Structure 1
Amino acid sequence: MEAVLSAGIVLGLIFFYLGLGVWVFAGLLLVAATALWLVLGMSIDRVGTIAANIAYRYASTWELAAIPMFIWMGEIIFRTDISDRLFRGLIPFVNRIPGGLLHTNVLGCTLFAAVSGSSAATTATVGKITTTELAKRGYNRSLALGSLAGAGSLGLLIPPSIVMIVYGILAEVSVSRLFAAGILPGVMIAALYSGYIMIRALMDPSIAPSDNVRHGLRDYLVALLNLSPILILMVIVLGSIYTGIATPSEAAAVGVAAALVIALFMRQMTPRLFVETLLGAVRTSCMVCIILISAAFLSTAMGYLHIPANVARAIGALDLSPLGLILILSVFYIVLGLFLDGVSIIVMSLPITFPLAMQAGFDPIWFGIYLVIMTEMGQITPPVGFNLFVLQGLTGTPIGKVAVYAFPFFCLMGLGVLILTVFPEIALWLPNTLYG
């Protein structure tokens, strides 16, 4: 009974503080501090000491250094014309496929995700070009926006991924293995998206007007030249990680240096642009890191209250099968995704769900990929789906409509989770092959 009361108090505090509209990190800090003081009777000094120790421990974690670096690299790409070159480079390769240029949303986001760790950044960077171009060429608006919302979420799954770094730190698993595990599931979900677009286009050709333009060898060579900045960054970042030359944090720094060199070579890097990218990276990095530290404090408070152990014991008493557990967790994460961003979802839930998954026999690397996909689904569900806000800002379309447009891709992600659960080797084969 005491455990239920403690869990109820913490849950009530979360709804109370976040309902006041305070910043997420402040709400998490207040929930943790209030719970320790109210339930356990800790002194304010003791609570402050615990918070300070957690902040120091996480601030000195080497893996966190990768987060600002990957964000900075994404800022450099976003503020140059690399995204425009990406769109032009994909046109010859997708023009003759059913669905035509709609596939630039999926392929563009897939490629950009490989050099950015953010879903919102992926959606914004690719969307600032494709939303205008597809509308100008008469493509179906709902499918164009829906596919962009869904494909933009691949920024969390295809490495490098900020959310994977956060999970790796909290679950104490190899970030490099997580990165390797995200590649095939990311490609699989991208293939599901493109397959859906093709089926829709074959059923109703009017959604993707055909321009009947045939491209020659020169067009493909120019296209590859336009794609070269993204491809070079992919090879440098991912290649350095998987060959063992660099850790994810070191690869992120190398990626930033390469992005700066490419921007200078393209004669687009000015002192003003440099400062803008740096400030943008600092703002986003501070937000992510302070949420991570605040949620770690909340996780510690929940540990003191024995909530994770008690919840795990209660669910364990239900004697669920592994598939039954995944079903319950999926519903749980879909509900969380309605209200929280991906980093907050992971850091708040992991102390409870990770022991349950390990007890059920799931591989921690596989569970990380599953969890990332579930947080991806939250990126396109109202009222707090970040990708929906990005597309509203780009196009002026109400969030409700964008959410309706994105719903088929939400379902496709659910199908991806089902496939990954039935065939876990999709996620585990590559890290096991590369790292044994």
Structure 2
Amino acid sequence: MTEPIFLGIAGIVSVLAIGAAGIPVAYALMTVGIVGMWYVGGVSFLGTTIKMLPYAVMSNYSFAVIPMFLLMGALASTADITTELYSFANRLLARVRGGLLMATVVASAIFAAISGSTIVNASVFTRIALPEMKKFGYDLGISAGCIAAAGTFAALIPPSISLVIVGLLTEASIGALLIAGIVPGILTAVMYILGIAVFVRLKPSLVPSGVPDIPQVSMFKAMLSIGPALLLMFIVLGGIYTGVMFPSSAGAVGAAGALLIAVARRKMNFEKLWMVVRSSAGSTATLFFIVIGGLFFSRFLTFGGFIHEITGLVSTWQLSQTQFLIALSLLYLLLGMFLDTLSILLVTIPFLFPIALSLGINEIWFGILVVKLIEIAAITPPVGLNLFAVMGASEKRISSKVIMTGVIPFIIIELMTLGLIIYFPAIATWLPSEMMK
């Protein structure tokens, strides 16, 4: 084993060990990155990097998309958009067997086009949908599992913070990545609905046999109630797709639109606005700190020669694209059992992305596959963050055993969807290719 490969593996293992000890991932990445850069480049190289890298990140206009998307999602939630989305989907699907589960999927998918956070999605719909499903006699495990799994749509459907971070780490077009997430995101939602229809027939005891008594409202009125949400979604996604707005600009316009909706509905005052802005700023600062730590670590792997050596080594194995993607999937599924999704991205992309490029894998396709895999990781026991988000939002009325059992059918559906995206790359690449014409 050459020294660069040994150093790289030692660095990766060190980050994982420090993270497993309960130390925040930002500190783990930054500590290992700084020590590694000092070892491979000396004090002068380390000093220059410490001075310039954080400033380069903070002054990069592309990063403005993160606080804008977070702010838009928080404002949209304050404006009660989520409640209306769920009510609309409920009226649409309540008379179908397993309809409340399907309504959660539909509402989560639409809200994902406004909020870029999987944890926010899962937490919000736990408070809205879980009491309804419990009231009508739905199995608690499958209900909680559905909410946790549907929350992951925000990782794929734009505006997705995960796709933005992948774009920043790989230097791929953030706009193209965001648009590329639309079709796979919709496909995942459709697969969930079909899957729910199948397993409620295979195991009828999961859902009540009767039809919930839902007040009859005309479809026109129901559509009218979600009009602001749809308008916000089309402005943001349409602006990015047509090239009228950069992702950062679209995020700012979306946040302004969500604020106007909240004000018009009298859901906003100065106190609430301050809380929303403060919360979004705190989340942004945390993300930036983690990303800076990840870039320190990436710089160590690059200048230490690990990425060059590991790319050359893998090329001698003569792996096919399919073999590499299967290995990638197994690696991410394994890591997803023990690490949070952002840690997985920051630790693995610096060395996996060059290998993918050397095998001729399209950067947009790679980005979507990686985000799909961390989407699965977010619901994979024992460390799936969305599982804990649902348990927390339910005020501990759901045990870990119940939700981990209930989410299994949705993990199976996710793996089937992943297989389709691997077998048919156009699912991820077609829409951004049309956008660039």
TM range (shorter): over 0.9
Q: Report the residue type matching 2:379 in the other structure.
A: I
The answer to whether the 8 Å contact 1:149/1:387 transfers is: yes
Q: Distance in 1 between matches of 2:121 and 2:111?
A: 6
- Structure 1 window deviating more from structure 2 (52-61 vs 272-281): it is 52-61
Looking at structure 2, the residues matched to 103 and 126 of structure 1 have their Cα atoms a distance apart, in angstroms, of 13
Between the aligned partners of 1:400 and 1:309, the Cα distance in structure 2 is 43
For residues 60 and 251 of structure 1, what CA distance do their matches in structure 2 show?
A: 19
- Of residues 75-84 and 298-307 in structure 1, the stretch that sits farther from structure 2 once superposed is 75-84
2:185 partner amino acid: G
- Give, as a single letter, the amino acid of the residue that structure 2 aligns with 1:424: P
Partner of 1:228: 227
Query: Aligned runs of 1:273-422 on 2, under 5 Å?
Result: 273-395=272-394, 396=396, 397-422=398-423
Deviations 1:403-425 (A, max 9, x none): 22112211211111111111111
For residue 213 of structure 1, report the CA deviation from its aligned partner. 5.1
CA deviation string 1:111-152 (max 9, x = no partner): 010011111111112221001111111112122111111111
Q: Secondary structure at the match of 2:276?
A: helix
Superposition pairs of residues 163-312 of structure 1, within 5 angstroms: 163-209=162-208, 210-211=210-211, 218-312=217-311
Distance in 2 (CA, whole Å) between partners of 1:140 and 1:281 is 34
Q: Take 2:202 and 2:15, find their aligned partners in 1: how far apart are those partners?
A: 47
Q: 1:214, CA displacement in angstroms? A: 8.0
Whether the aligned pair in 2 keeps the contact of 1:36 and 1:47 (CA below 8 Å) is: yes
Instruction: Tell me, in whole angstroms, the C-alpha distance in 2 between the residues paired with 1:338 and 1:235.
Output: 36
Unaligned runs of 5+ in 1: none
Name the amino acid aligned to 2:286.
M
* Matched residue count: 433
CA distance in 2, matches of 1:267, 1:186: 32
Kindly provide the CA deviation profile for residues 324-368 of structure 1, in whole angstroms up to 9, marking residues without a partner as x.
Answer: 111111111112222333333222211211111111111111111
Matched to 2:253, the amino acid is: V
- The Cα offsets for residues 253-292 of structure 1, whole Å up to 9 and x where unpaired, read as 0011101100011111011110111111011111111111
Maintained 8 Å contact 1:92/1:219: no
Kindly provide the amino acid, as one letter, of the partner of residue 9 in structure 1.
A
CA RMSD in angstroms, aligned pairs only: 1.8
Distance 2:278 2:132 in 1: 29
Range with greater deviation from structure 2 (196-205 or 107-116) = 196-205
Counterpart of 1:83 in structure 2 is: 82
CA distance in structure 2 between the partners assigned to 1:8 and 1:172 by the alignment = 24
Higher alpha-carbon deviation: 327-336 or 260-269: 327-336
Shift of 1:206: 4.0
Distance 2:82 2:62 in 1: 28
Partners of 1:89 and 1:224 within 8 A in 2: yes
Deviation at 1:4, TM superposition (A): 3.6
Match status 1:42 vs 2:45: no
TM-score by length of 2: 0.94
Q: Which runs of 4+ in 1 moved over 4 A?
A: 212-216
Q: Partners of 1:365 and 1:311 in 2: how far apart?
A: 22
CA distance in 2, matches of 1:214, 1:225: 18
Residue 67 of structure 2 aligns with an amino acid whose one-letter code is P
Q: CA separation of 1:151/1:10 partners in 2, compared to 1, >3 Å: closer, same or farther?
A: same
TM-score w.r.t. the length of structure 1 is: 0.95
Question: 1:230-264 CA deviation, whole Å, 9 max, x = no partner?
Answer: 21211221122222221110010001110110001
Identical amino acids, percent of aligned pairs: 32
